[in-house]
Protein backbone atom coordinates (compact mmCIF):
# COMPACT_ATOMS: atom_id res chain seq x y z
CA UNK A 1 0.00 0.00 0.00
CA UNK A 2 1.38 3.38 -1.01
CA UNK A 3 0.33 5.55 1.93
CA UNK A 4 2.21 8.55 0.52
CA UNK A 5 -0.63 9.05 -1.96
CA UNK A 6 -3.30 8.92 0.75
CA UNK A 7 -4.58 11.91 2.70
CA UNK A 8 -4.17 12.01 6.50
CA UNK A 9 -7.91 11.42 6.86
CA UNK A 10 -7.76 8.38 4.57
CA UNK A 11 -4.81 6.97 6.53
CA UNK A 12 -6.63 7.49 9.83
CA UNK A 13 -9.76 5.70 8.58
CA UNK A 14 -7.67 2.85 7.18
CA UNK A 15 -5.70 2.42 10.43
CA UNK A 16 -8.93 2.12 12.42
CA UNK A 17 -10.39 -0.46 10.02
CA UNK A 18 -7.30 -2.51 9.14
CA UNK A 19 -6.10 -5.54 11.05
CA UNK A 20 -3.16 -5.12 13.39
CA UNK A 21 -0.78 -7.09 11.18
CA UNK A 22 -1.63 -4.86 8.21
CA UNK A 23 -0.86 -1.68 10.14
CA UNK A 24 2.34 -3.19 11.50
CA UNK A 25 3.46 -4.00 7.94
CA UNK A 26 2.82 -0.40 6.89
CA UNK A 27 4.51 1.22 9.90
CA UNK A 28 8.00 1.50 8.30
CA UNK A 29 6.46 3.56 5.49
CA UNK A 30 4.20 5.59 7.78
CA UNK A 31 7.10 6.43 10.08
CA UNK A 32 9.00 7.89 7.12
CA UNK A 33 6.07 10.15 6.22
CA UNK A 34 7.01 13.75 7.03
CA UNK A 35 3.45 14.96 7.47
CA UNK A 36 2.76 16.00 11.05
CA UNK A 37 -0.71 14.45 10.99
CA UNK A 38 0.64 11.08 9.92
CA UNK A 39 3.33 11.10 12.61
CA UNK A 40 0.61 11.90 15.15
CA UNK A 41 -1.49 8.96 13.92
CA UNK A 42 1.46 6.58 14.17
CA UNK A 43 2.28 7.76 17.69
CA UNK A 44 -1.31 7.38 18.85
CA UNK A 45 -1.67 3.92 17.28
CA UNK A 46 1.51 2.74 19.01
CA UNK A 47 0.30 4.06 22.37
CA UNK A 48 -3.05 2.35 21.95
CA UNK A 49 -1.39 -0.94 21.01
CA UNK A 50 0.89 -0.72 24.03
CA UNK A 51 -2.14 -0.13 26.28
CA UNK A 52 -3.88 -3.15 24.73
CA UNK A 53 -0.83 -5.32 25.38
CA UNK A 54 -0.70 -4.18 29.02
CA UNK A 55 -4.39 -5.06 29.47
CA UNK A 56 -3.90 -8.42 27.76
CA UNK A 57 -0.92 -9.24 29.96
CA UNK A 58 -2.91 -8.29 33.08
CA UNK A 59 -5.81 -10.48 31.96
CA UNK A 60 -3.49 -13.42 31.35
CA UNK A 61 -2.11 -13.03 34.89
CA UNK A 62 -5.61 -12.77 36.35
CA UNK A 63 -6.94 -15.86 34.60
CA UNK A 64 -3.82 -18.02 35.10
CA UNK A 65 -4.95 -19.47 38.44
CA UNK A 66 -8.27 -20.59 36.99
CA UNK A 67 -6.45 -22.13 34.04
CA UNK A 68 -4.17 -24.11 36.36
CA UNK A 69 -7.17 -25.37 38.32
CA UNK A 70 -8.86 -26.51 35.10
CA UNK A 71 -5.70 -28.41 34.20
CA UNK A 72 -6.12 -30.21 37.54
CA UNK A 73 -9.62 -31.29 36.54
CA UNK A 74 -11.85 -28.62 38.09
CA UNK A 75 -14.55 -27.40 35.72
CA UNK A 76 -16.69 -24.95 37.71
CA UNK A 77 -14.50 -22.48 39.59
CA UNK A 78 -16.31 -19.79 41.59
CA UNK A 79 -14.73 -16.56 42.72
CA UNK A 80 -16.17 -15.00 45.88
CA UNK A 81 -15.74 -11.52 47.33
CA UNK A 82 -17.60 -9.04 49.50
CA UNK A 83 -18.16 -5.30 49.66
CA UNK A 84 -19.19 -3.02 52.49
CA UNK A 85 -17.35 -4.35 55.50
CA UNK A 86 -16.26 -0.91 56.73
CA UNK A 87 -19.28 1.46 56.35
CA UNK A 88 -21.31 2.79 59.25
CA UNK A 89 -24.56 1.94 57.46
CA UNK A 90 -25.97 -0.55 55.02
CA UNK A 91 -25.48 -4.26 54.39
CA UNK A 92 -22.41 -6.28 53.66
CA UNK A 93 -22.82 -7.73 50.18
CA UNK A 94 -21.09 -10.77 48.71
CA UNK A 95 -21.05 -12.13 45.17
CA UNK A 96 -20.03 -15.45 43.70
CA UNK A 97 -19.20 -15.77 40.00
CA UNK A 98 -18.34 -18.73 37.77
CA UNK A 99 -16.71 -17.54 34.55
CA UNK A 100 -16.67 -19.67 31.39
CA UNK A 101 -13.39 -21.12 30.23
CA UNK A 102 -13.38 -19.16 26.97
CA UNK A 103 -13.72 -15.56 28.09
CA UNK A 104 -11.64 -12.42 27.92
CA UNK A 105 -12.40 -9.38 30.10
CA UNK A 106 -9.36 -7.20 29.56
CA UNK A 107 -10.79 -4.27 31.56
CA UNK A 108 -11.31 -6.49 34.60
CA UNK A 109 -9.45 -5.33 37.68
CA UNK A 110 -9.83 -4.85 41.42
CA UNK A 111 -13.16 -3.00 41.73
CA UNK A 112 -11.51 -0.27 43.82
CA UNK A 113 -9.22 0.56 40.88
CA UNK A 114 -12.12 1.15 38.47
CA UNK A 115 -14.39 4.11 37.90
CA UNK A 116 -18.08 3.73 38.79
CA UNK A 117 -19.00 3.90 35.09
CA UNK A 118 -16.57 1.14 34.13
CA UNK A 119 -17.70 -1.01 37.06
CA UNK A 120 -21.29 -0.74 35.83
CA UNK A 121 -20.29 -1.69 32.29
CA UNK A 122 -18.25 -4.65 33.50
CA UNK A 123 -21.04 -5.80 35.81
CA UNK A 124 -23.39 -6.01 32.81
CA UNK A 125 -20.81 -7.94 30.80
CA UNK A 126 -20.04 -10.31 33.68
CA UNK A 127 -23.74 -11.08 34.19
CA UNK A 128 -24.22 -11.65 30.45
CA UNK A 129 -21.24 -13.99 30.06
CA UNK A 130 -20.97 -15.78 33.42
CA UNK A 131 -21.86 -19.45 33.70
CA UNK A 132 -23.57 -18.45 36.95
CA UNK A 133 -23.54 -15.63 39.49
CA UNK A 134 -25.35 -14.81 42.71
CA UNK A 135 -25.36 -11.81 45.06
CA UNK A 136 -26.24 -12.05 48.76
CA UNK A 137 -26.98 -9.37 51.38
CA UNK A 138 -26.61 -9.42 55.16
CA UNK A 139 -28.23 -6.40 56.79
CA UNK A 140 -27.07 -4.04 59.53
CA UNK A 141 -29.14 -5.73 62.24
CA UNK A 142 -27.45 -9.07 61.53
CA UNK A 143 -24.04 -7.38 61.39
CA UNK A 144 -24.66 -5.98 64.87
CA UNK A 145 -25.80 -9.37 66.12
CA UNK A 146 -22.96 -11.57 64.86
CA UNK A 147 -20.20 -8.97 64.00
CA UNK A 148 -19.13 -7.86 60.57
CA UNK A 149 -16.54 -10.59 60.03
CA UNK A 150 -19.09 -13.34 60.58
CA UNK A 151 -21.64 -11.40 58.52
CA UNK A 152 -19.17 -11.21 55.62
CA UNK A 153 -18.55 -14.95 55.89
CA UNK A 154 -22.30 -15.62 56.00
CA UNK A 155 -22.90 -13.48 52.90
CA UNK A 156 -20.15 -15.34 51.03
CA UNK A 157 -21.64 -18.72 51.91
CA UNK A 158 -25.08 -17.52 50.79
CA UNK A 159 -23.61 -16.25 47.51
CA UNK A 160 -22.01 -19.62 46.73
CA UNK A 161 -25.08 -21.58 47.78
CA UNK A 162 -27.25 -19.37 45.59
CA UNK A 163 -25.37 -20.23 42.39
CA UNK A 164 -27.55 -22.01 39.83
CA UNK A 165 -24.51 -24.07 38.79
CA UNK A 166 -22.76 -25.81 41.69
CA UNK A 167 -19.00 -25.08 41.78
CA UNK A 168 -16.39 -27.76 42.37
CA UNK A 169 -13.75 -25.26 43.52
CA UNK A 170 -14.02 -21.87 45.24
CA UNK A 171 -11.51 -19.02 45.26
CA UNK A 172 -12.21 -16.67 48.17
CA UNK A 173 -10.80 -13.23 48.85
CA UNK A 174 -8.80 -13.38 52.09
CA UNK A 175 -11.15 -15.71 53.95
CA UNK A 176 -12.00 -19.38 54.37
CA UNK A 177 -15.72 -20.12 54.31
CA UNK A 178 -17.51 -23.09 55.91
CA UNK A 179 -18.50 -25.08 52.83
CA UNK A 180 -17.69 -28.66 51.88
CA UNK A 181 -16.10 -27.56 48.60
CA UNK A 182 -12.42 -27.46 47.72
CA UNK A 183 -11.30 -23.89 48.17
CA UNK A 184 -8.38 -21.51 48.44
CA UNK A 185 -8.19 -18.22 50.30
CA UNK A 186 -6.20 -15.51 48.51
CA UNK A 187 -4.98 -12.32 50.15
CA UNK A 188 -5.75 -9.47 47.73
CA UNK A 189 -7.54 -12.05 45.66
CA UNK A 190 -9.29 -9.46 43.49
CA UNK A 191 -5.86 -8.59 42.06
CA UNK A 192 -4.85 -12.25 41.61
CA UNK A 193 -7.91 -14.05 40.30
CA UNK A 194 -10.28 -13.13 37.46
CA UNK A 195 -13.18 -14.88 39.18
CA UNK A 196 -12.65 -13.01 42.45
CA UNK A 197 -12.21 -9.71 40.58
CA UNK A 198 -15.53 -10.34 38.80
CA UNK A 199 -17.21 -11.11 42.12
CA UNK A 200 -15.77 -7.96 43.70
CA UNK A 201 -17.27 -5.85 40.91
CA UNK A 202 -20.73 -7.39 41.23
CA UNK A 203 -20.69 -7.03 45.01
CA UNK A 204 -19.59 -3.39 44.83
CA UNK A 205 -22.04 -2.43 42.07
CA UNK A 206 -25.02 -4.11 43.73
CA UNK A 207 -24.26 -2.57 47.11
CA UNK A 208 -23.79 0.91 45.64
CA UNK A 209 -27.11 0.61 43.80
CA UNK A 210 -28.86 -0.50 46.98
CA UNK A 211 -27.45 2.42 48.97
CA UNK A 212 -28.50 4.85 46.23
CA UNK A 213 -32.03 3.46 46.47
CA UNK A 214 -31.99 3.90 50.24
CA UNK A 215 -30.96 7.52 49.70
CA UNK A 216 -34.46 8.12 48.34
CA UNK A 217 -35.92 6.87 51.61
CA UNK A 218 -33.44 8.81 53.78
CA UNK A 219 -32.45 11.80 51.61
CA UNK A 220 -30.89 13.82 54.43
CA UNK A 221 -28.02 11.32 54.87
CA UNK A 222 -26.42 11.50 51.42
CA UNK A 223 -26.17 7.72 51.02
CA UNK A 224 -26.00 8.09 47.24
CA UNK A 225 -22.67 9.92 47.65
CA UNK A 226 -20.82 8.11 50.44
CA UNK A 227 -22.64 4.74 50.33
CA UNK A 228 -22.71 4.56 54.11
CA UNK A 229 -19.02 5.11 54.76
CA UNK A 230 -17.92 7.31 57.65
CA UNK A 231 -17.37 10.57 55.79
CA UNK A 232 -17.60 13.96 57.46
CA UNK A 233 -20.94 14.51 55.74
CA UNK A 234 -22.28 11.21 57.07
CA UNK A 235 -21.16 11.83 60.65
CA UNK A 236 -22.74 15.28 60.55
CA UNK A 237 -26.03 13.79 59.36
CA UNK A 238 -25.94 11.30 62.24
CA UNK A 239 -25.33 14.15 64.70
CA UNK A 240 -28.22 16.10 63.22
CA UNK A 241 -30.82 13.46 62.40
CA UNK A 242 -29.85 10.44 64.45
CA UNK A 243 -29.69 6.79 63.40
CA UNK A 244 -31.76 4.94 60.81
CA UNK A 245 -32.53 1.22 60.73
CA UNK A 246 -29.68 1.00 58.18
CA UNK A 247 -27.04 2.08 60.69
CA UNK A 248 -24.75 -0.40 62.38
CA UNK A 249 -25.07 0.40 66.07
CA UNK A 250 -22.00 -1.67 66.91
CA UNK A 251 -19.91 0.58 64.63
CA UNK A 252 -21.26 3.84 66.04
CA UNK A 253 -21.66 3.19 69.76
CA UNK A 254 -18.59 4.44 71.55
CA UNK A 255 -17.73 6.90 68.82
CA UNK A 256 -20.62 9.21 69.79
CA UNK A 257 -22.06 9.76 73.22
CA UNK A 258 -25.79 9.17 73.65
CA UNK A 259 -26.49 12.89 74.03
CA UNK A 260 -24.75 13.50 70.69
CA UNK A 261 -27.25 11.34 68.82
CA UNK A 262 -30.79 12.40 68.11
CA UNK A 263 -32.93 9.36 68.95
CA UNK A 264 -35.15 7.82 66.31
Annotated binding site for a divalent metal cation: 81-82, 173
Cβ–Cβ contacts within 10 Å for residue 41, how many?
Answer: 21
Instruction: Report whether 199 contacts 103 (CB < 8 A).
Output: no
Query: Residue 84 — left, alpha, or beta (φ > 0 → left; ψ -120 to 50 → alpha)?
Result: left
CB 78 within 8 Å of CB 163: yes
Task: List 92's β-bridge partners, or say none.
Answer: 138
Q: Residue 54, class by beta-carbon neighbours within 10 Å (0-12 exposed, 13-18 middle, 19+ buried)?
A: exposed
Q: Spell out where the chain has E strands.
A: 77-83, 92-98, 132-138, 169-173, 183-186
What DSSP character marks residue 131? S
Residue list for the binding site: 81-82, 173
Amino acid sequence: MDTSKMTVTQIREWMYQAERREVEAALPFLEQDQRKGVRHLVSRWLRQEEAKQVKQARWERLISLEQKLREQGYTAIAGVDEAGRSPLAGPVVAAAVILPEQICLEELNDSKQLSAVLREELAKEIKAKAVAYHVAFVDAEEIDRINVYQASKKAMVMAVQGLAHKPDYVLVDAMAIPLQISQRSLVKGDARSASIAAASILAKVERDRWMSEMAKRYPQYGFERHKGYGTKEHWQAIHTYGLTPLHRRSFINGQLSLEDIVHE
